[in-house]
Structure 1
Amino acid sequence: MIGTGKPLAKKIPHKLEIHDDIRIDNYYWLNDRENPEVISYLEQENTYYKALTAHTRGFQKSLFEEMKGRIKEDDASVPYKHNGYWYCTRFKKGKEYPIYTRRMESMDAREEILFNCNELAKDHEYFNLGGVAISPDNQLAAFGVDTVSRRQYVLQIKNLGTGELFPDRIENTTGGAVWAQDNKTLFYVLKDPVTLRSDKIFKHRLGTSIAEDILVYHEKDEAFSTFVYKTKSKKYIVIGSTSTLTSEYRILKADEPDGEFEVFSARKRGLEYSIAHYGDSFYILTNRDKATNFKLMKTDERNTHSDYWEEFIRHRKDVLLEDIDIFKDYYVLSERKNGLNQLKIVRWDQLDSYYLPFDNETYTAYVGTNPDFDTEVLRYGYNSLATPSSVIDFNMRTQEKVVKKEQEVLGGKFKKENYLSERIWATATDGTKVPMSLVYHKDTPLDGSSPLLQYAYGSYGHTIDPHFSTVRLSLLDRGFIYVVAHVRGGEYLGRNWYEDGKLLKKRNTFTDFIDCSQFLIDHKYTSKEHLYAMGGSAGGLLMGAIANMAPGLYNGIIAAVPFVDVVTTMLDESIPLTTGEYDEWGNPNEREYYDYIKSYSPYDNIKAQKYPHLLVTTGLHDSQVQYWEPAKWVAKLRDFKTDEHLLLLDINMETGHGGASGRFESLREVAKEYAFLLDLENKIPLE
């Protein structure tokens, strides 16, 4: 199956030593993107990828057109009202990027175009507009632009009346900014130029030089990153500092921008909290007093230290409290029970409270955009693996709901009733029940003969909720079953589900995924010959781990921007994200964590064995997982593996962690992935 011209990276032994343990990394030299030899090697890999997938090129194009054909090209978001204006994002047919608009007071008013991203992006291979912030008087907009894909935004300010840009250009920001109530003062976040950690908050006053900007906060602890926002009540500007395990906030009245930020409650290792303001009080979502699944506390705005916090909603062992949204007469709790989203609506006067009814086991429900404080209407979203997304306005007083928009699936072939979704539970090796959400076409046989794509992430407490995808229909309509494995390391079953999949329990993430795979095979959903796995970033680490631990279970694996060189990366404090993630993976400068991480790190555990077919993707400018991790992993796999299965590395030389920026260009990347799977299933038509 493998042709000639296979790239073989040269070996330059590099000695890595710590804890009296020596590792020899033959491909360490690949971490220099300024080295022409490195670029040459990456280009060889791309040439090789293109050569071995040339026979699928036409199919990729037809897949792209098929997926694009389901998307309403002249689409628009449901408008939302904020501070007297209706805001909407719309797309033009054939265009890649959104157009941001608003209308004063009524949707019948004249449309103002705030940003036409198609015009802004025309001279760039990559473009992302982020963090649009409108001044309180509605006259100015601060916004960030990234044209490299390293999430380093240039912050600018636009006069919405004249269309003119201020000369102020602030480099290397997070893209967002917060206006004080004076319409002249902006607070923004700078990144460390090397590690890209968000570590400094500055204050900028319009009409002054950037050089005169005042540093109002510097987060010196390398395990923390910082951010700034304004409370929904508009009364406070808040600076947050968070690490994996610990939180700290500072507050300043928004109409006193030259005042001093005051610490809300000083950080204590292991104490996590977030704050929302209402009336003369703050409401604190926190894990204090061993509230593993979080509880809600309350304190007077004049006494915010944790000594003054009082319980408002108690901790519940079977319910994860995820968020609170505050309105004038109601508050809304976002909860998760037995893996399922719940939205609870409560009157502040306690005269009424109820849950929104949902009757599916694979749905996703979430609070949408609700910037207005004085309203009875809650906007929320709903979808499932088999049900397109809906945006719903719900009157919290009358309990009437209006579906403002249901996602259109064009092309004329999609019918909800043709797809079945369900939730099933596998039993892990240690006896733990692991849930999976799956969807398939009703005509797909469940006799072991069907191809199945199993997806998971499993880190940082990030839950992959079962959501609808028009793109995924291209697999389902060709007989694939799609499964989301809710493995430990996410928070699908509460905070303990996360705790059981991190640090010295990280292996549970990998064994859960493998046990789910075995369950799917044993129960005839698929077979080893037709089982495929996919994950990206930290989910790519999962892919690398299962490829080493259980290669015989999978016919193919897609590892997108995979975090696979865990030991070396976590020992290099100059790499973005490293120091802030010790509480997720462990600090390998400590022997116990070094040994444990080394025991599963995909790059360090490659061995002479057969591996599944592999498609690996990365971006040269990736700031989250540096390109050299997948490049080194592939180079070492080529040297060790004993099979003739496909091993393909596709490097986007123009983008970073999130891939292409345009709404259609990103589909070309999905088409590559799907063509890889369908080719292995011999489902590509002859040209």
Structure 2
Amino acid sequence: MGDKRLQPPLPRAEPRIRVLHDHVTIDGYRWLRDRDNPDVRAYLEAEGGYAEQAAAHLSALKAEIIAEIEGRQLREGALPSFQVGPFEYFQRHEQGQSHPRWWRRPAGGDRAELVIDPNVLEGAEVFYRLGVFEPSDDGRFVAFSFDVIGDENYELRVRDMETGRDVWQGSRRAAMVAWASDGHTLFFTRERPRLRRQCNELIRLDIATGDSEVVFEEANGYLEIRVRRSDSGVWLFLDVIASSDWSSPVHMGAAEVWCIPADEAGGKWRRIVRRELGCNIYVEHWRDSFLFRADDAGPSCRLVRAPINDPSPSSWEEVVPHRAGVALEEVHILEKHLVVLEREGLRPRLVSRDGRGGVGATIVPEEPSCTLKVGLSAGGIHSVARHPFRSSKLVYSISSFVTPDTVVEHDLADPRSTVLYQARVPGYDAAQYVATVVMAKAEDGVQVPISLVARRDRTNPGPVLLNVYGCYGSTRWPSFMAARLSLLDRGVAFGWVHVRGGGELGRPWHEAATRDRKRITYTDLIAAAEGLVDIGFASRDAIVIEGSSGGGGTVLATAALRPDLFCAVLAKVPLCDILDTEMDFMMPYALQETAEYGDPHIAHEYRYLRSYDPYYNLSADRPLPPTYVDAALDDGQVLYYQPARYVAQRRSCSADRDPELVFRMRMVGGHSGASHGPSVDEERAFRMAWTLDHLRRSSS
């Protein structure tokens, strides 16, 4: 690692004793939670200084990778506009500006007017991320939210396009928004401070008067709410969902659904799905019916319809039956077409149907594993993708390990496809790379899929970087990343391991690795690595594992189980102290974590969780592979001191302070890293240079 005389920092320990279920735990680093303590800042800066010195010998390689990343930046082209009411909205990135500005023009017209310039927002020069961008039907108002800190508390504003002024601005805890059709009533969800990171209140805001009121509140801390408008625009839906289920960002199954006509904003919300039904349901509107995607007949879901005036299960009429192994993931409505996104294994397909359920066009990407999205989104974290309702033209986007982001328009009435946009990456030749899916046998015989990409001329076996998440039923699909080419072109293959605990193969895939079965997530990752060695794809001494957030906890827990199998570990903003997170319900997601990992207040669940918790399984007699850890001071999901405590504890458990462990704290930005500027490329280049260095050293 360069200069052997370097000595990692070690903060002082302040032992704190906790007794739970007759088990004594001593924690010496709880004091790192006090960010106002100057000793905390001094320690974080010392760790950053050590990381830079320890990686100083990689400066030339890092600079080379940064130059490569900059050379692959998109030079031309812009995403297509999307239409709301009489206007088309689009972004334009102008030279010298940090962030693209929002513009609009009349549909079919040429003259554009500025809507929002994020560059003038106070703080956006340091950090900026969009939450939502939602115009009203008539275009008079635009609701938008943003975060200029990185803590994911989005400030909501409403701009009057007649005056160009913001006529309303509210709390920094707004999430999803939906306009009523009257053009002046806005509904939005808001997080309650005592239930951090959960949306439990629905607010109705009258822009004309400035009056607002809470119209719905969910008291169950295991549930949260989301508001949306039907594809037809006729209805508003309120979904009450399990907050521990991240299976889909939008088309998530709800335990309970309420609705109101979009033209009756002041009316009474009607409950059309009761939580007593005991299944997960997504509702849409088509013609004279409600459509329900429900898992009542099996986990892969079926599609049923019911009259609007009687949506009870006794009136359900099946449109698409449940099919084992074929997941019905999303439902999209055009005026004359019903489109469902299905997935068989890892491969997605779009299937259009008529009003009776008869199959029309079927769109199947050539990619064996890819990201497929319907509609166009404003790109904000809470933005909803949209597509024109009164049209036969379906817009979708595709991205994979080898295919840069591509937007396609497919005419369902006259089957033709037109590419509206494709990212152009300078110097990229897709023919030089190959993507595939291989299977690895888990401990219990279950086949675990791995999505892989490598250069065609790569020599097998060779080095592999495996990324993983494996939590909350969240899905992770391959997508294109130009920066990744710097690894592929140096002979390193890249893979997504779709371990159980994630949701790639449906709800059972998630439920197979939760609570007292959570270790299956980690043994699946081990099986994937060993499987790639067995088929001659990966070199046994050249496997690196990488994960972010919950996935960061996954790789740390897995490395503790099999430290001999991995030559290095990349843990980005890792959830690495699961027990402590769940013991403090003021922590982000603490309550939801119990559904995933188990409740430590229950003795047998505590003992099981304690057996793999990364923080509490550190010891002097269990050396771990070289590890990169990072965190962000303003992270609103994994708080900065969670990774910091892990690093401090790990150093204290090692006689030499574990010099192969590096820790970087970002002083700007949040959970997803910097939003713009040189630090974005520097962060990626540092990790890649560090990874390449350890792959080289392990095989030399």
The normalised TM-score by structure 1 is: 0.94
Gaps of at least 5 residues in structure 1 are: none
**1:202 matched residue in structure 2:** 203
Shift of residue 484, structure 1, vs aligned partner: 1.2
Is the 2:560–2:614 Cα contact (8 Å) retained in structure 1?
yes
**1:651 matched residue in structure 2:** 665
The normalised TM-score by structure 2 is: 0.92
Name the SS for the 1:527 alignment partner: strand
The yes-or-no answer on 1:467 pairing with 2:474 is no
Give the Cα separation in 2 of the matches to 1:81 and 1:165: 22
Is the 1:282–1:298 Cα contact (8 Å) retained in structure 2?
yes
Aligned residue runs from structure 1 range 322-471, under 5 A: 322-350=329-357, 352-369=359-376, 370-410=386-426, 412=427, 414-446=428-460, 448=461, 450-471=462-483
Is the 1:286–1:296 Cα contact (8 Å) retained in structure 2?
yes
Shift of residue 54, structure 1, vs aligned partner: 2.5
The yes-or-no answer on 1:629 pairing with 2:642 is yes
Distance 1:170 1:122, change over 3 A: closer
Cα deviation code 1:146-168 (max 9, x no counterpart): 111111111111112331121x2
**1:222 matched residue in structure 2:** 221
- Paired residue type of 1:536: S
Aligned residue runs from structure 1 range 93-112, under 5 A: 93=95, 95-106=97-108, 108-112=109-113
**2:43 matched residue in structure 1:** 41
**2:306 matched residue in structure 1:** 299
**1:517 matched residue in structure 2:** 529
Give the Cα separation in 1 of the matches to 2:504 and 2:174: 29
Give the Cα separation in 2 of the matches to 1:123 and 1:461: 33
Distance 1:642 1:336, change over 3 A: farther
Is the 2:467–2:547 Cα contact (8 Å) retained in structure 1?
yes
Is the 1:173–1:188 Cα contact (8 Å) retained in structure 2?
no
Cα deviation code 1:232-277 (max 9, x no counterpart): 2222222222114662121112212211212222213852111111
Aligned residue runs from structure 1 range 101-180, under 5 A: 101-106=103-108, 108-120=109-121, 124-166=125-167, 168-180=168-180
Give the Cα separation in 2 of the matches to 1:99 and 1:444: 42
Is the 1:3–1:52 Cα contact (8 Å) retained in structure 2?
no
The yes-or-no answer on 1:91 pairing with 2:93 is yes
Name the SS for the 1:513 alignment partner: helix
Q: CA RMSD in A?
A: 2.1
Shift of residue 308, structure 1, vs aligned partner: 3.7
Match of 1:257 among 265, 284, 287: 265
Give the Cα separation in 2 of the matches to 1:518 and 1:269: 43
Shift of residue 682, structure 1, vs aligned partner: 4.6
Shift of residue 307, structure 1, vs aligned partner: 4.5
Shift of residue 4, structure 1, vs aligned partner: 2.8
- Paired residue type of 2:262: A
Give the Cα separation in 2 of the matches to 1:428 and 1:295: 29
**1:614 matched residue in structure 2:** 627
- Paired residue type of 1:258: G
Cα deviation code 1:656-679 (max 9, x no counterpart): 211111276422221121111122
Name the SS for the 1:151 alignment partner: coil
83-92 or 659-668: bigger deviation: 659-668
**2:78 matched residue in structure 1:** 76
Shift of residue 316, structure 1, vs aligned partner: 1.2
Is the 1:551–1:611 Cα contact (8 Å) retained in structure 2?
yes
Is the 1:252–1:260 Cα contact (8 Å) retained in structure 2?
yes
Name the SS for the 2:475 alignment partner: coil
Distance 1:306 1:604, change over 3 A: farther
Name the SS for the 1:659 alignment partner: coil
Is the 1:341–1:366 Cα contact (8 Å) retained in structure 2?
no
Shift of residue 175, structure 1, vs aligned partner: 4.2
Give the Cα separation in 2 of the matches to 1:12 and 1:408: 54
- Paired residue type of 2:159: K
Shift of residue 395, structure 1, vs aligned partner: 0.8
Shift of residue 79, structure 1, vs aligned partner: 2.0
Give the Cα separation in 2 of the matches to 1:180 and 1:197: 23
**1:601 matched residue in structure 2:** 613
Distance 1:668 1:74, change over 3 A: farther
Give the Cα separation in 2 of the matches to 1:47 and 1:547: 25
Is the 1:223–1:582 Cα contact (8 Å) retained in structure 2?
no
Distance 1:550 1:597, change over 3 A: same
Distance 1:537 1:184, change over 3 A: same
Shift of residue 58, structure 1, vs aligned partner: 4.2
Name the SS for the 1:451 alignment partner: strand
Name the SS for the 1:458 alignment partner: coil
The yes-or-no answer on 1:488 pairing with 2:500 is yes
**2:251 matched residue in structure 1:** none
- Paired residue type of 2:158: I
Give the Cα separation in 2 of the matches to 1:305 and 1:60: 60
Distance 1:443 1:135, change over 3 A: same
The yes-or-no answer on 1:545 pairing with 2:544 is no
Shift of residue 193, structure 1, vs aligned partner: 2.2
**1:183 matched residue in structure 2:** 183
**1:231 matched residue in structure 2:** 230
Gaps of at least 5 residues in structure 2 are: 246-253, 377-385
Give the Cα separation in 2 of the matches to 1:157 and 1:82: 16
Name the SS for the 1:512 alignment partner: helix
Shift of residue 392, structure 1, vs aligned partner: 0.8
Cα deviation code 1:512-548 (max 9, x no counterpart): 1011111222333232332111000111111111121
Give the Cα separation in 1 of the matches to 2:260 and 2:399: 38
Match of 1:508 among 507, 511, 520: 520
- Paired residue type of 1:86: E
Distance 1:169 1:383, change over 3 A: closer
Name the SS for the 1:589 alignment partner: coil
612-621 or 255-264: bigger deviation: 255-264
- Paired residue type of 2:564: G
Name the SS for the 1:529 alignment partner: strand
**2:250 matched residue in structure 1:** none
551-560 or 251-260: bigger deviation: 251-260
Distance 1:213 1:621, change over 3 A: same
Cα deviation code 1:296-350 (max 9, x no counterpart): 1222222234444333221111111101101111111111102211211112255
Aligned residue runs from structure 1 range 16-55, under 5 A: 16-55=18-57
- Paired residue type of 2:177: A
